[in-house]
Amino acid sequence: MEFASIILVLLVLLTAKCDSCPGRCLCCMNDICGTDSRGMEQTCLEGCKDGYHQPRCMWPCPDHCQTCRQSDGVCQTCQPGFYAPSNNCSSACDYTNCACVQSICDNCLDGFYDVGSHCDSVCSKGCSEEKCNDDGTCECKANFEGNECDVCVIGKYGENCNINCNNENCRCIDSTHCISCRPGYFDLSTFCSKQCSVGCKDICSNEGHCTCLSQFSGRTCENCKPGYHGKNCNTPCSNGCINGMCNRDGSCKCSPNFTGRMCETCVARQYGFFCDTPCGQGCTDNTCYKDDGTCNCEFNYKGALCNTCNDGYFGNLCNSICPDRCFNCSTSENCYTCNEGNFGLDCSLNCSANCVGSICGKSNGLCLDGCLDGFTADSCNDSCDGFCKTCSQTNSTYCTSCFDGFSGSECKCIPNCRCELNSEVCNECTNGFEMKSKDCKCNRSYCLNSMHCTTCQNNKFYTFNDTCCECNKLCKNKQCSSETHCLIGCDDGYTGANCADLCTDYDHDCTKCSQNEHFCVQCKGGLTPNTDGVCAVQCRETCVNKECDAKTGRCHLGCIRNFYADKCDLVCPSTCASVPNKTRCDNYGRCLHGCIEGYNGVTCVNATTTNTCDSSAAGIVGGAVGGASTIIIVIIGIVLCIQRRKQQKKQSESGSQVRFSNHNPFIIEEQERHYQKLSDRHNTTARVQDEAYTELQTNSMDYERVDS
């Protein structure tokens, strides 16, 4: 068995690979093993690791040799503590902790330092791997610090610096004795639990005293220098603080016109650096931003400062409405700018319908953005000549673009045709087209079979003289059966046998008409054909008796209840107070009978807390804004309020209360007299007087007396 085992081991040694051999190549430098130049297998090609030699690096170097020659094992360097390689490093250094070349101490062994003292000093236990430099400095293990890693970090103590102090900010020698604080903390008596002020320039004393940063003051640097506040004392006090002085939190006593805890805002209705500039009169709630006076505007004001009347309004309070034709104005007769389509001092003149965008100069009515296709001249009232799609605005005969592929300065050179030089007479067809007599609209490529053209590709062509020609472009979907017959009629807007006539030739507002008779079936937006096939406005449900202008849609007899505007297409604000059988607002949307509880203003869009009497008066005034009888109505409103208060007082004294279903009969009676006076004073027609009186009678309600 022993002989067999030996044979097996030899076989393994001879056949094993380098990375698994128990001896051969095991100590090769860089683990590189292979066949050398002499053909010897399993040799270390780049030499041996320290301590070994022989081609396969299987033999150890002599005792105390650090390295030896690979070929013969001659000692080259010694292990630490020994010297004399020529003598196989058999000589030991004179000093135990030294490494030497001869007997003297050249450097220290690991764990020792100070060559000058023969390495008698031991590295600190806090040194990483217990190694240190010749002056004792080293890299520290965890929980140690200092140049020589001989001190526990703050918050730790003990031989191995692994025991926690009572407070992590304390450097201690045991759990109860704190000898110093972590930088930024103070008070040894409380184990350094107090933090130095953020105003300290450097560390603070055990009492918290320190040198202050520039923006702090005080022995402990807890206070800001005058005029500043905040955590870092770098925020200036508000300019609203008296003398510019404030507390650490920014609070202070305010100068005039300022308010707020930090005096950082202006009092109501003021803005500016010193809060001495009034806000714009159109600012909502009379409030604006302190810095620049900008604010949210009431509906009739505009501009960043809300000090300009909104488009469509004028007057000192911007509560007068410009005429419909004005975009904005200074009076009802003087418009600054006109709405699109109008011009003139009062914008009462109409721009030419041929102006692009219906935009023209306010003073002269000249088209500003050019003419619609087919028109020319300053006012675009002249037509372009010939077949021009567009033409020069100064020369109606010079075409700048043509319709449907035509070309030339007069748009007479037909598509797919070569015309004579300086002429628009067609010489010959081009691009595979033929038949000059058919305006070069025929091409064999349109045939199903170009050799025998008896059928065209589809209904957009018709056969003619062994070719296929394009259908009339005005045929619906360009489909035809012959040159003169459209399969499904004409394109919208055209009529006649050859679709050559325009529907607008018979009715200016017609966009689609019958091909065989002058009967419109579709009109421009807002218009519909009547029973005679003529385009007219369809009056809204909301016009009285549904009567309106056939072209503009303006209601002849006004609006039904609770609608307003010329076409009666707007609903009175829901916040307007309601009166039975009466409309809530006038033709401009202004509330006639005041507002529901909680709102005020001309159109009742603002919240309010005014009393009932004031609201009633406001409703009467609001209903009369812009009218000639404003002063009279205001006086009547005041009288009614006084009478109403007297009535309420009288009822209270009598121990009872009057509850009305709607309006007090006394008020209705006063209103009757008021309407009669207005009718007489302003020569109101008898019809309006009758209608006003009828409505007042309808509003009369029964009332009941309830014991208080």
Mean pLDDT calculated for residue range 401-417: 81
- The rounded distance, in Å, linking the Cα atoms of 285 and 698 is 39
The pLDDT of residue 262 is 95
Confidence of residue 704 (pLDDT cuts 50, 70, 90): very low
Please list, residue by residue across 412-446, b when 16 or more beta carbons sit within 10 angstroms of its beta carbon and e when fewer do: bbbbbbebeeeebebeebeeebbeeebbbbbbeeb
The pLDDT of residue 548 is 87
Residue 192 has pLDDT above 70, yes or no: yes
User: What is the rounded average pLDDT for all residues in the chain?
Assistant: 80
Residue 691, H or E segment: helix 686-699
The pLDDT of residue 646 is 52
Cβ contacts of 400 within 8 Å, gap of 6 or more: 388, 390, 391, 392
The pLDDT of residue 216 is 92
DSSP 243: G
Rounded to 5, what percent of the chain is helix, strand, coil? 15, 25, 55
Residue 665 has pLDDT above 50, yes or no: no
Residue 8 has pLDDT above 50, yes or no: no
The phi, psi pair for 533, rounded to 5°, reads 75, 25
CA within 13 Å, CB half, 661: 7
The pLDDT of residue 46 is 83
Neighbours of 281 (CB within 10 A): 15
Mean pLDDT calculated for residue range 696-703: 33
The pLDDT of residue 276 is 92
Find the DSSP H helices in 609-685. Answer: 612-624, 630-653, 665-681
CA within 13 Å, CB half, 286: 7
Secondary structure E strands in 465-592 = 467-470, 480-482, 485-486, 494-495, 501-502, 510-513, 520-523, 527-529, 535-537, 563-564, 570-571
| Residue that wins the pLDDT comparison between 185 and 665 | 185
What SS3 class is residue 57? coil
272 φ/ψ sector (left φ>0, alpha ψ -120 to 50, else beta): left
The phi, psi pair for 434, rounded to 5°, reads -145, 180
Q: What residue has token string 């081609």?
A: 55
- The rounded distance, in Å, linking the Cα atoms of 293 and 270 is 8
| Residue that wins the pLDDT comparison between 108 and 20 | 108
Q: What is the pLDDT of residues 29-42, one digit of tens each?
A: 888 888 888 888 88
- The rounded distance, in Å, linking the Cα atoms of 547 and 627 is 26
Closest alpha carbon to 83 in 73, 71, 95: 95
The pLDDT of residue 305 is 94
The pLDDT of residue 642 is 52
Confidence of residue 414 (pLDDT cuts 50, 70, 90): confident
Residue 433 has pLDDT above 90, yes or no: yes
Query: Which residue type is seen at 528?
Result: T
The pLDDT of residue 75 is 92
What SS3 class is residue 15? helix
The pLDDT of residue 572 is 94
The pLDDT of residue 643 is 53
Q: What is the pLDDT of residues 604-661, one digit of tens each?
A: 988 765 444 444 443 433 333 333 333 334 444 444 445 555 554 443 343 333 333 3
- The rounded distance, in Å, linking the Cα atoms of 183 and 201 is 12
Confidence of residue 258 (pLDDT cuts 50, 70, 90): very high
The phi, psi pair for 209, rounded to 5°, reads -75, 145
| Residue that wins the pLDDT comparison between 700 and 188 | 188
CA angle 264, 266, 268 (to 5 degrees): 145
For the chain, the domains span 23-90, 153-225, 322-370, 572-707
Confidence of residue 422 (pLDDT cuts 50, 70, 90): low
Q: CB of 572 within 8 A of CB of 584? A: yes
Q: What is the pLDDT of residues 261-294, one digit of tens each?
A: 999 999 989 999 999 999 999 999 888 998 899 9
The pLDDT of residue 661 is 31
DSSP 253: P
Confidence of residue 540 (pLDDT cuts 50, 70, 90): confident
Residue 408 has pLDDT above 80, yes or no: no
The pLDDT of residue 571 is 94
CA angle 39, 42, 48 (to 5 degrees): 110
Q: CB of 283 within 8 A of CB of 295? A: yes
| % of residues, the chain, pLDDT over 70 | 82
Residue 195 has pLDDT above 70, yes or no: yes
DSSP 456: B
CA 394 to chain centre: 46
The phi, psi pair for 428, rounded to 5°, reads -160, 155
Secondary structure E strands in 306-370 = 308-309, 313-314, 320-321, 326-329, 335-338, 342-343, 349-350
Residue 84 has pLDDT above 50, yes or no: yes
Q: Note every long-range contact of 400-403, with CB atoms under 8 Å and residues 24 or more positions apart, other chains counting.
A: none
Q: CB of 228 within 8 A of CB of 238? A: no
Mean pLDDT calculated for residue range 352-359: 86
The pLDDT of residue 634 is 40
Lowest-pLDDT choice from 123-127, 515-519, 695-699: 695-699
Q: Which tokens belong to 667?
A: 């008020």
| Residue that wins the pLDDT comparison between 229 and 678 | 229
Mean pLDDT calculated for residue range 381-397: 80
Mean pLDDT calculated for residue range 422-442: 87
| Residue that wins the pLDDT comparison between 592 and 540 | 592
Mean pLDDT calculated for residue range 110-135: 92
Q: CB of 633 within 8 A of CB of 676? A: no
Q: What residue has token string 């201690």?
A: 172
Radius of gyration of the chain (CA): 54
Virtual torsion, Cα 79, 83, 85, 89, nearest 10 deg: -70
Q: CB of 149 within 8 A of CB of 167? A: no
Cβ contacts of 657 within 8 Å, gap of 6 or more: 651, 705, 706, 708
